[in-house]
Structure 1
Amino acid sequence: MTGDQHEHSLRNEQVGQAYMVMLDVYEKCRQQGMTPAQISQEIEKANPWGVCQTWRLQAWLIARREFYADYTLPPPKTTGAR
């Protein structure tokens, strides 16, 4: 396995982990009767890695794009600062 393949594999694993975090939050929010916009905001708060870890942040963003498309959630409102 080359370095590029290893990095790709790690990124895919991190995307999968991020997607599962989002799914857990989604299911809990649905049980609480939250709106899609509220769910979107809760998912944004659930990022366990923050913004300091570049690969994990990229994995979170990839998973978020896929998850929001899969569950037809509105994009999160950004405040400009985290």
Structure 2
Amino acid sequence: MTLRFMGIDPATDGDECPTAWVDEETADIVMQGWLADEATTAECLATGKIPETEAVVRIPARMVPIIRKACDAAEAAELRRAAG
């Protein structure tokens, strides 16, 4: 696995902040975020279960440009993968 760093929360204090990466091999976007509170998780559960291998996280809106950058990088990685 080769993770390419995309960015960190611009309001970071340098510790435990939401971050985005792209896995260059799979083109997956990897996100670190704040674990959602019980009320948010309960609301998400209204649309379906959350498997034990998954989690609900919050990513601040100020990270939208970083997420867009990650999406573009993931799309490019997927095109490279598909091309062989």
TM class, shorter-chain normalised?
0.3 to 0.5
Question: TM-score, normalized by length of structure 2?
Answer: 0.33
> Which one has a bigger Cα radius of gyration?
2
Higher RCO by CA contacts (8 Å cutoff, separation 6 or greater): 1
Structure with the higher helix share, 1 or 2: 1
Greater fraction of residues in strand: 2
